[in-house]
Structure 1
Amino acid sequence: QTKTMLAIMVVLLASELIWNGSQYNKTFPAQLIYRETLTTNFLKNNIGQYRFLVAPADFRGKAGAIIEDKIVAPPNTFLPYQLASIAGKNQLFPKWYREIAALVEPQNELSHIIFNQQQSPIYDLLGVKYLLTKEKKEVLSPSYQEVYHNEGIRIYENLNVMPRAFFASQVKVANLSELEMMGEDGFDPHTTVIVQTKTIDPKDISVPTSADQVEIKEYKNNEVTLQAFTIAKRLLVLTDTYYPGWEVFVDGNKVELLRVNHAMRGVVLNSGKHQIKFVFWPSILSKGLLIAAIVFLGLILEVLRVSFRRIWTNKSLTRISTEN
């Protein structure tokens, strides 16, 4: 009777909570909140594996501050549309990415990386194909071409944008700091990649030719698959953020993952056709899975122990009853 009453009380309580909650926690189709617009459709149809940037940034900085002109998109607005930006709000930005961003302009906001400057070679390196700006903020530069003007927004295509994955033309080993070398006036990201490791001999890396090809075949949050063909030894650069826990496999074999240009991933390829996989699998995840498996096995053994003990006890009681 006690168990029955307890079950009834749980069912009644759960039913009441669900009924009350349904009046306040309504669900709506995502399309009603994140509507498709001419701007988002243009970006979706044309951006591919590249990134975009809103500049000047639509960021207030201080509560109540006034933003001039029309707002294009505050930080993180385009996340639901799965459009990649080099700016945004996130308290967990890797330090080295913030330092790369600071090469363009100081990053003084703790929780944001934002840009007001509309042109920089660093944008080329980070794969910024499109620059979004307010209608009144024209970009006058031969390297930026207006490709969209609607909804109070102008979109400019960066004609010097670099692909997300490319082969390095020239490799330089940083004696002190990659960041310092990248901040020098003569640094050109189109031709030079900076590394810290001495396992690479820059003399082994030659300028890629039209025969050298690399293509991103599959892109997921925790895994990136590329197909590449090279006629000589090359350094492949993926301009995604480097972070401990990323591993790289070439033709199924784990190889050394390089940190290049201070904040990006790289891998050395020998000549030939290769499949490259960047996989995020931190050691703490392996340890966590091992601990979980041990705990789960322990629970199963404990359940079996209790069950067998109960069966043995019942058999013993039955035998004693029979004997009496």
Structure 2
Amino acid sequence: MGGSVLIAVLALDSVMLSSHYFKADNIARIKKGNDIVRFIKENQGNERTFFMDQSGIYNQWLASDGPFHGLNLFNIWQMPRMPSEYKEFLGTVGRNQIRVWELSAVKYVAAPQTVLQQFKNNPALGEQFTPVLNYQIPTAKGMRPEVLLEFKNAVPRFALYSNWQVVPLENQCSLLVSESHNPQTTVLVDSGAGLPEAKLNGSRFQALKAEVSKKAAVVELETDKPSILRFAQRFQPGWRVEVDGKPAELLRVDYLCMGVAVPEGKHTVEFRCVSGASEMVFSSGVFILSFVGGVVCIVIRKRIGTE
């Protein structure tokens, strides 16, 4: 009898304590979405969105609304064990957040209105961003004006380059963040790949579309010169690539991404996850996002003392 009472008390205590940490989100509300989530969903394509604030309503969008609606979100939300290449990339290239967005196919940035004003104070920076949606979010200090910005300088998820530079992997991050490097015209290829240096001509990348699924991406392309197809997805040995149905060498480009060399002409390229690698969930960016999802309800972590 005593044991049963103790179990009941512990169970009740567990339920009471859990209410301070977790809350259930109504699936009908999540399914309905909102103007911001719907806009991103309808316009993102294969590109990504970054939330400059990860607290409050944005935490909810990262945890529940985003995964439910298939948003391609580029935020480090939970990563208990960060891979060494991420630490190197963030520690070096992360000194210039705009360059990180440029290299990572970030099409939209959600930010406070004050950030947009800061961008406008720098003409060279301000012209890279176009406001596409104005809205407000609730904060502890009241409603805050926000803006969804379209970042026009982002290198798309799939990009074809006729210019590449052969650089040892250990030197790529320092070059990627350098003002002397232009990601719009040149992709960096690991010297271990054995590719010859390209004759740089200053031409900009060609944006490409792809048919994507959870484990594969298929790209149709045509080029009049040898080129590199850059795929802004984390390089992992468990991926394979084929050009016109024949196995090709999977290249590591721009330190974190995948790529493949293609000769001139028309080609069909397929990147495929075969084993030992993370599947291509397009709501995951170059950096891994962890989220909790469910069919009936979605449980999200809530900070102690907040509602």
Same fold (TM > 0.5): yes
Mapping for residues 64-213 of structure 1, pairs under 5 Å: 71-73=57-59, 75-77=62-64, 78-91=66-79, 94-105=83-94, 120-138=98-116, 139-140=119-120, 141-152=126-137, 153-175=146-168, 176-196=170-190, 197-203=192-198
SS of equivalent to 1:177 = helix
**2:158–2:207 CA contact under 8 A, matched in 1:** no
Distance 1:48 1:225 in 2: 15
**CA displacement 1:142-192 (0-9 Å, x = unmatched):** 211111002433101112122111122421111452223223332221122
Distance 1:185 1:213 in 2: 22
Q: 1:183 to 1:142 in 2, by over 3 A?
A: closer
Mapping for residues 249-288 of structure 1, pairs under 5 Å: 249-282=242-275
Whether 1:58 and 2:54 are equivalent positions in the alignment is: yes
Q: Which amino acid aligns with 2:129?
A: Y
Identity %: 21
What TM-score do the two structures reach when normalised by structure 2? 0.67
**2:189–2:253 CA contact under 8 A, matched in 1:** yes
* Counterpart residue number, 2:240: 247
**1:170–1:191 CA contact under 8 A, matched in 2:** yes
SS of equivalent to 2:194 = coil
SS of equivalent to 2:208 = strand
Q: Which amino acid aligns with 1:144?
A: F
* Counterpart residue number, 1:5: none
Q: 1:85 to 1:104 in 2, by over 3 A?
A: farther
SS of equivalent to 1:236 = strand
Distance 1:259 1:203 in 2: 16
Q: Which amino acid aligns with 2:132?
A: V
**CA displacement 1:20-76 (0-9 Å, x = unmatched):** xxxxxxx99833345410111111111111111111x325xxxxxxxxxx7544644
Distance 1:256 1:151 in 2: 48
Distance 1:185 1:207 in 2: 16
Q: Which amino acid aligns with 1:124?
A: E
**2:156–2:207 CA contact under 8 A, matched in 1:** no
Q: Which amino acid aligns with 1:134?
A: P
Q: 1:88 to 1:34 in 2, by over 3 A?
A: farther
Structure with higher Rg: it is: 1
* Counterpart residue number, 1:309: none
**1:250–1:276 CA contact under 8 A, matched in 2:** yes
Q: How well do the aligned residues superpose, as a CA RMSD in angstroms?
A: 3.0
Q: 1:183 to 1:255 in 2, by over 3 A?
A: same
Bigger strand fraction? 2
Q: Looking at both structures, which has the greater relative contact order when contacts are Cα pairs under 8 Å and sequence separation is at least 6? A: 2
Distance 1:284 1:36 in 2: 32
Moved more, 236-245 or 160-169: 160-169
Distance 1:209 1:58 in 2: 33
Moved more, 27-36 or 159-168: 27-36
Distance 2:245 2:86 in 1: 29
* Counterpart residue number, 1:295: none
The unaligned stretches of length 5 or more in structure 2 are 1-23, 121-125, 138-145, 279-307
Distance 1:154 1:38 in 2: 12
